[in-house]
Structure 1
Amino acid sequence: MTESDMLAKTPDSNAIERSLRLAPGPAWHVVRSIGRTDTQVLDWLKRRDVETYYPVVREMRPVRRNKLSRAQRKAGLMILRPKLVPLFPKYYFVRLDLADGEWHELFRLGGLTGLVCAGGLPVRIGDDLVAALRGCEVDGAVPGTTPARVVFAVGDTVRVTNGPFAAQLATVERGIDVALQDIDGETRLTVAIELFGRATPVELMIDHVERV
């Protein structure tokens, strides 16, 4: 089956009858909306007591530069923050009984453009699939990619890349383990640099060192 075989459209009455003969009763379907916000669609369906599921993913997204502090901008850091984004934008899981003709009115007034169909018939989504998606959620959202972390252990050798000690080797004296999105211009790494014949503790900005 090709992607073009699965389209969000309003099936005709014959397709609905064939679908109900194959599997009568209420079932999960996928509907699409165009021209309305997610909040508008979900509120509309909720007011009409339609069981709905709209899965979201928690992803780490860069904070816009104009939202960063002066220190963060000066340090040239990319700060990430969690953001909830739809898993399937503009496609909503709804539980409908297509034998109830009121779904036509629901679609017309709610700004829903059609059901996802395959071979001309509305696609029925199994309860197990919806349950599996919900089972993946943590605090109401499917986890996205794992946030990157910056880790330096005590004893690691690093090279200073900026400032008066640039190009010198140093040894980490105080370990650090911090999520990338939590790093800002105040995040420091304590290292020991050889100065005047002895190891001297120095605090450096985290982006002023690199691993050797």
Structure 2
Amino acid sequence: MTQDSLIRAWYVLHTRSRFENVVYENLSRKSLETFLPRIRVLSRRKDRKKFIRVPLFPGYIFVRTDLDPNEHLEIVKTVGAVRLIGTNLRPVPVPDEAIESLKIMVASEEGIETGTRFSRGDRVMVVGGPFAGVVGIFSNYKGMSRVIVNIEVLGQFASAEVNEADVEIVPGI
């Protein structure tokens, strides 16, 4: 190992789907410094609504390591861990400032929007709420878990603001 690879830095660890909490707890038990940014979201069940804490980046957690071969092996052999994100040669570190900024953001009670579920121009269908069944084009994120969907009719657009949870990408395009 070269000397510069033994500098402690934050790295992104890809996890199995819905294993973020398991990997976080197991790495913490191994006395490794980890960070799992979670946000509060409204969970809509058929019979009730309640706030739950979910990972800000599903499928990923952050781990601070110096990439010592033994420590690296301990990280990747953790149940639910897939791999450290990087190039073919080595994992790529995340700047400390980015991690500190994320810690500040998730510590506040303000809403955080990631905006990665839909891209402008995606063909979507509204599956719940008063506009259920409407097929349109995703326009943009409005904030507070709201999105704008455009419906084209007669060469003109009509826009509807709907709950993000009520919108799904139309498959097969």
TM range (shorter): 0.5 to 0.7
Tell me what 2:165 maps to.
none
d(CA) in 1 for partners of 2:7 and 2:73?
17
CA RMSD, 1 decimal: 2.8
Tell me what 1:146 maps to.
144
Gap regions ≥5 residues in structure 1: 1-16, 69-79, 149-212
1:90/1:103 CA distance change after superposition, 3 Å: same
**Structure 2 residue matching 1:121: 3-state secondary structure:** coil
Tell me what 1:115 maps to.
84
1:73-126 CA-to-partner distances (Å, cap 9, x unmatched) read xxxxxxx53232211112110001113423213322434221101364311011
Q: TM-score, with normalisation over the residues of structure 2?
A: 0.55
d(CA) in 2 for partners of 1:84 and 1:24?
34
Aligned length: 116
Query: 1:25, 1:99 within 8 Å by CA — same for their partners in 2?
Result: no
In the TM superposition, 1:25-104 aligns within 5 A as 25-34=7-16, 37-62=19-44, 64-65=45-46, 67-68=47-48, 80-104=49-73
Query: 2:38, 2:56 within 8 Å by CA — same for their partners in 1?
Result: yes
Query: 1:33, 1:90 within 8 Å by CA — same for their partners in 2?
Result: yes
Q: Percent identity?
A: 27
1:24/1:35 CA distance change after superposition, 3 Å: same
1:147/1:91 CA distance change after superposition, 3 Å: closer
Higher relative contact order (CA 8 A, sep 6+): 1
d(CA) in 2 for partners of 1:55 and 1:23?
25
Query: 2:37, 2:55 within 8 Å by CA — same for their partners in 1?
Result: yes
Gap regions ≥5 residues in structure 2: 113-142, 147-173
Query: 2:86, 2:92 within 8 Å by CA — same for their partners in 1?
Result: yes
Q: TM-score, with normalisation over the residues of structure 1?
A: 0.46
Tell me what 2:94 maps to.
125
List structure 1 runs of 4+ shifted beyond 6 angstroms.
none
1:142/1:88 CA distance change after superposition, 3 Å: farther
